[in-house]
C-alpha cells in the first residue's frame, strides 16, 4: 500500500507548462485541458491525478504516463515491444533484457522513459528507463530497460 501525501490542485501557470510539455512529447492529449489536475506524492514519487485517476508520474523531473495513462490515451511514442516469452517477467517487475525485445522506437535514447508493450495485442505492460538507445535494444544479450512501474504494482493499484 502506497503512503499518499499532499494532494494539491495545480496552479494555472504550472498547469499550462505541464500540459505544453506533455503535448509536445506525446501529441493527442488535448482532452487534458478540460480535466481536473492534482498532484500527490505516493511513497515520495510525484503522481499526477487526472480527474482523480493516477495517469502520470514523475521520474528524474520528467512527467510520463503510467500504464493506465498509456491505456487511457492510446499512446505509442517511446514504445518497446517484447515477445510473449518476456510478458510474465515484465508483469512481475523484471528489468527487460535485449533477447526479449522484438522492436524499439528508433527515437529512444539512453535515459529516456519508455512504454513496454506486448507483441500479440500491443497492450502496455510496464514503464521503464532505457539503458541504451532504441536501435541497440534488439540484440542477443544485455539489459535494455530498468523497470519502474508495471501492471499490478502499487502505482497500478493506487486508489484515491
Residues 2-27 pLDDT 10s? 778 888 998 888 999 999 999 998 88
- DSSP H stretches of helix in 80-144: 84-90, 134-137
Residue with the bigger pLDDT between 139 and 160: it is 139
Show the cell assigned to 139. 540484440
pLDDT band at 101 (very low <50, low <70, confident <90, very high): very high
| Look-up of cell digits 523497470 | 147
Q: What is the pLDDT of residue 150?
A: 97
Rounded mean pLDDT of 79-83? 98
Between 3.40.50.1360, 3.40.50.2300, 3.10.450.120, 3.90.550.10, what CATH number should domain 4-73 receive?
3.10.450.120
Judge whether 75 and 61 are in contact, CB under 8 Å.
no
Confidence check: pLDDT of 57 > 90: yes
Amino acid at each position: 500500500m502506497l503512503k499518499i501525501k499532499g494532494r494539491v490542485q495545480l496552479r494555472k501557470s504550472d498547469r499550462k507548462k505541464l500540459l505544453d510539455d506533455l503535448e509536445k512529447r506525446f501529441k493527442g492529449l488535448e482532452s487534458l485541458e478540460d480535466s481536473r489536475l492534482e498532484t500527490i506524492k505516493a511513497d515520495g514519487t510525484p503522481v499526477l491525478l487526472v480527474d482523480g485517476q493516477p495517469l502520470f508520474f514523475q521520474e528524474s523531473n520528467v512527467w510520463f504516463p503510467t500504464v493506465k495513462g498509456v491505456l487511457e490515451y492510446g499512446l505509442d511514442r517511446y514504445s518497446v515491444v517484447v515477445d510473449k516469452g518476456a510478458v510474465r517477467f515484465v508483469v512481475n517487475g523484471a528489468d527487460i533484457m535485449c533477447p526479449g525485445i522484438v522492436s524499439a522506437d528508433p527515437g529512444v535514447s539512453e535515459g529516456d522513459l519508455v512504454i513496454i508493450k506486448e507483441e500479440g495485442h500491443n497492450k502496455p505492460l510496464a514503464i521503464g528507463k532505457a539503458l541504451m538507445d532504441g536501435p541497440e535494444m534488439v540484440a542477443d544479450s544485455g539489459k535494455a530497460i530498468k523497470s519502474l512501474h508495471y501492471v499490478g504494482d502499487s502505482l497500478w493499484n493506487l486508489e484515491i
